[in-house]
């Protein structure tokens, strides 16, 4: 027999995946859709290739762990602190509103109270794994909306874990309050241990083993799986453990090296996750629930993003950031399917409800994937209709807009902060434009000229008199927006010096072709700075330690 042997099954699955992925590339469709389609093709309903389901589930769990470990590697604690408040409020707010509205819709559709509660809770959770993969593919993980989205997805996962713990306790007759208290104590204990290990031991360990590339890679994988397994054994999820394992290593100077070496391994195992997800979808008795499936799917695809847009708008964020972050909650997650399966095992739900939620999952995962991948094209079409949700500008910002400036800087995050220091030293008259209200509040506290807004707002460009500036700098990592800015300058202020940030060579080439005076590439500049230090200091370790102290004082 061709199947029944794990090696042969993996070979056949990969063969199907390659063919489907090739079709997706030809049609210019997201690969995630191809992965899920592969899972459906190899499921018992069609080709029935996967029979060693437990082995494939293990591969899928490893893929999830590696994906979230790599996400954690790029989550600098300072970045978490910057978006912690908005992520917490938006995450909890979205869970609350979605569950309440979802419950009301369920009751109106005729479902009983218990079933309505389960459906409402299932609708609240978004897929961290899918969103992390899409943000990574779009290279948007370091954007403001990307960091906010990651933050509230983490909040959702923690809420989901608590709910799953409560339902699991009901299945064994435990007291939910006692179970939750025990889980809280365990969680705090694990966090304290992880913090101490990450602070005191990991820097020494990685420094000692970094000379061997193979050993560093081996240690990183072991660290990820050990922490993820520890959280699993203590009643939490693999996802949370792997993410925290990555965050513990995020301050390591070797994090980029670890990340680059793990990506190919991650991509293979994460394929298994999507294949398993597709293969386990249930397709029975769905004809009875066509209307509820459509109504719930529309609510998730439109209602959930709208809730996030409203919350972020109320907290002072631009409509674009609200829209982009909102799309990341336009689907249900694997937690939703686990929740419904638990409800079935406890006896609270029927198999038909499992089919209902499964089909909602298929529609919303596919729909949100397209929405996120093509969000930059969708946003301009609906942008005028979102202005209602955006906060009004502050009075003092209007006075800044009336003046003329030598330099206008878009984006005060990271690179922008260093540029501000240089402009202050040169005593140039400058204006900073940023779409993060926390950043503009900080600029206001420092009495720096600032405006709140997005780079793609043409009315804003007119309002702040970009056509009068001698230099325009953009540290915003969005090529489309930077191209729009260069087009504006080409038409209204061709004499201005334009300094634009790009993350990759192909983006830099586009910006140069569009008329950028100079394209800032952080990795290239970092290499030049390191080369300059080597030329200046040579092999004198004391010289590098002096530079180290200066750098540490700057980032502390």
pLDDT exceeds 80 at position 304: yes
Question: Residue 100: which pLDDT band, with cuts at 50, 70 and 90?
Answer: very high
Question: Residue 357: which pLDDT band, with cuts at 50, 70 and 90?
Answer: confident
Spell out the residues 6+ positions from residue 410 whose beta carbon is closer than 8 angstroms to its own. Answer: 433, 434, 455, 472, 473, 474, 475, 476, 485
- Report CA-CA distances (Å) from 337 to 128, 179, 515: 14, 22, 50
Q: Which two tokens stand for residue 164?
A: 């799953």
Q: For the chain, how many residues are written?
A: 556
Spell out the residues 6+ positions from residue 230 whose beta carbon is closer than 8 angstroms to its own. Answer: 190, 241
What does the pLDDT read at residue 343?
78
| SS3 call for 181 | helix
Report the C-alpha dihedral over residues 72, 74, 76, 81, rounded to 10 degrees: -70
User: Cβ(25)–Cβ(32) under 8 Å?
Assistant: no
What does the pLDDT read at residue 105?
94
What does the pLDDT read at residue 104?
95
Q: What is the CATH number of domain 59-264+291-388?
A: 1.20.1530.20
Read off the pLDDT of residues 147-196 as tens digits, 9 standing for 90 and up: 888 888 878 877 776 776 666 555 555 566 676 677 678 777 877 888 78
What does the pLDDT read at residue 301?
94
CA–CA separation, 248 and 194 (whole Å): 7
Mean pLDDT, all residues of the chain: 80
The CB density around residue 35, as the number of other CB atoms within 10 Å, is 23
Torsions phi, psi of 210, nearest 5?
-65, -20
- Alpha helix positions (H), 197-212: 202-209
Torsions phi, psi of 206, nearest 5?
-65, -35
Could you state, in order of their start, the residue ranges of all structural domains in the chain?
59-264+291-388, 402-520
In 427-477, DSSP assigns E strands to 430-434, 450-452, 471-474
What does the pLDDT read at residue 101?
93
Average pLDDT over residues 296-319: 90
The CB density around residue 513, as the number of other CB atoms within 10 Å, is 10
Element (H, E) at 356: helix 351-373
What does the pLDDT read at residue 83?
62
Name the more confident of 367 and 83.
367
Name the more confident of 450 and 180.
450
Lowest-confidence segment of 156-170, 423-437, 483-497, 541-555 by average pLDDT = 156-170
Residue 290 is classified by DSSP as H
User: Cβ(217)–Cβ(167) under 8 Å?
Assistant: no
Q: Which two tokens stand for residue 142?
A: 């370091």
pLDDT exceeds 70 at position 39: yes
User: Cβ(320)–Cβ(137) under 8 Å?
Assistant: no
Average pLDDT over residues 9-24: 89
Does the domain formed by 402-520 have CATH 3.40.50.300?
A: no
Element (H, E) at 341: helix 334-346
Spell out the residues 6+ positions from residue 277 whose beta carbon is closer than 8 angstroms to its own. Answer: 36, 39, 60, 334
Read off the pLDDT of residues 457-499 as tens digits, 9 standing for 90 and up: 777 777 888 888 888 888 887 888 888 888 888 888 888 888 8
CA–CA separation, 548 and 96 (whole Å): 46
pLDDT exceeds 50 at position 1: no
Q: Positive or negative CA dihedral for 47, 51, 53, 59?
A: negative
User: Cβ(362)–Cβ(298) under 8 Å?
Assistant: no
Torsions phi, psi of 433, nearest 5?
-115, 125
CA–CA separation, 38 and 32 (whole Å): 10
Q: Which two tokens stand for residue 390?
A: 């955006």
User: Cβ(416)–Cβ(442) under 8 Å?
Assistant: no
Average pLDDT over residues 225-252: 80
User: Cβ(333)–Cβ(127) under 8 Å?
Assistant: yes
| SS3 call for 102 | helix
Read off the pLDDT of residues 132-158 as tens digits, 9 standing for 90 and up: 778 877 777 777 888 888 888 878 877
CA–CA separation, 145 and 207 (whole Å): 34
CA–CA separation, 510 and 170 (whole Å): 58
Read off the pLDDT of residues 371-410 as tens digits, 9 standing for 90 and up: 988 888 888 888 888 878 776 554 445 556 567 888 899 9
Name the more confident of 198 and 518.
518
CA–CA separation, 349 and 346 (whole Å): 8
Read off the pLDDT of residues 321-342 as tens digits, 9 standing for 90 and up: 889 999 988 988 767 876 777 7
CA–CA separation, 73 and 75 (whole Å): 6
Residue with tokens 């799917």: 297
CA–CA separation, 258 and 265 (whole Å): 12
Residue with tokens 């202020």: 493
What does the pLDDT read at residue 103?
94
Residue with tokens 């301050």: 251
- Alpha helix positions (H), 210-289: 213-233, 238-248, 255-279
Lowest-confidence segment of 108-122, 195-209, 273-287, 374-388 by average pLDDT = 273-287
CA–CA separation, 122 and 105 (whole Å): 13
Name the more confident of 242 and 179.
242
| SS3 call for 520 | strand
């Amino acid at each position: 027999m061709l199947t029944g042997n794990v090696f042969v099954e993996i070979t056949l699955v990969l063969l199907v995946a390659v063919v489907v992925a090739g079709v997706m590339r030809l049609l210019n469709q997201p690969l995630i859709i191809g992965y899920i389609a592969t899972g459906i093709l190899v499921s018992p309903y069609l080709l029935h290739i996967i029979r060693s389901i437990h082995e494939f589930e293990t591969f899928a769990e490893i893929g999830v762990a590696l994906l979230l470990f790599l996400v954690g590697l790029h989550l600098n604690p300072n970045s978490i602190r910057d978006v912690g408040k908005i992520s917490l409020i938006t995450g909890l707010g979205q869970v609350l509103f979605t569950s309440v509205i979802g419950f009301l819709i369920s009751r109106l559709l005729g479902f009983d109270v218990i079933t309505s509660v389960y459906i409402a809770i299932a609708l609240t959770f978004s897929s961290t794994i899918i969103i992390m993969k899409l943000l990574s593919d779009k290279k948007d993980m370091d954007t403001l909306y990307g960091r906010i989205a990651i933050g509230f997805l983490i909040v959702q996962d923690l809420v989901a874990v608590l709910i799953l713990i409560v339902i699991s306790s009901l299945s064994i007759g435990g007291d939910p309050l006692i179970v939750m208290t025990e889980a809280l104590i365990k969680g705090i204990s694990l966090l304290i241990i992880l913090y101490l290990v990450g602070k005191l031991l990991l820097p020494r360990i990685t420094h000692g083993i970094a000379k061997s590339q193979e050993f560093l890679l081996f240690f990183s994988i072991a660290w990820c799986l050990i922490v993820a397994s520890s959280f699993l054994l203590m009643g939490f999820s693999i996802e949370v453990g792997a993410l925290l394992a990555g965050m513990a290593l995020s301050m390591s100077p070797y994090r980029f090296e670890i990340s680059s070496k793990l990506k190919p391994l991650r991509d293979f195992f994460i394929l298994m996750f999507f294949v398993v997800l597709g293969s386990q979808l249930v397709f029975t008795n769905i004809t009875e629930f066509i209307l509820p499936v459509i109504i719930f799917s529309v609510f998730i695809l439109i209602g959930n993003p709208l809730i996030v847009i409203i919350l972020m708008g109320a907290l002072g964020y631009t409509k674009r950031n609200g829209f982009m972050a909102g799309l990341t909650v336009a689907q249900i997650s694997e937690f939703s399917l686990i929740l419904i399966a638990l409800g079935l095992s406890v006896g609270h739900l029927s198999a038909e409800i499992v089919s209902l939620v499964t089909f909602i999952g298929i529609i919303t995962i596919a729909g949100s994937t397209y929405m996120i991948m093509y969000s930059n094209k969708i946003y301009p079409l609906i942008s005028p209709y979102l202005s209602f949700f955006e906060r009004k500008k502050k009075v003092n910002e209007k006075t800044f807009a009336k003046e003329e400036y030598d330099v206008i800087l878009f984006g005060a995050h990271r690179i922008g902060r260093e540029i501000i220091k240089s402009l202050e030293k040169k005593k140039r008259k400058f204006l900073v434009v940023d779409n993060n209200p926390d950043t503009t509040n900080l600029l206001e506290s420092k009495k720096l000229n600032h405006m709140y807004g997005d780079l793609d707002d043409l009315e804003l460009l007119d309002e702040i008199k970009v056509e009068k500036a001698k230099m325009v700098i953009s540290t915003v990592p969005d090529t489309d927006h930077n191209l729009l800015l260069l087009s504006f300058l080409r038409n209204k202020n061709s004499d201005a010096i334009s300094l634009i940030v790009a993350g990759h060579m192909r983006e830099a080439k586009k910006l140069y072709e569009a008329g950028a005076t100079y394209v800032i590439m952080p990795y290239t500049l970092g290499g030049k700075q390191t080369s300059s230090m080597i030329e200046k200091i040579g092999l004198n370790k004391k010289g590098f330690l002096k530079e180290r102290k200066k750098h540490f004082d700057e980032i502390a």
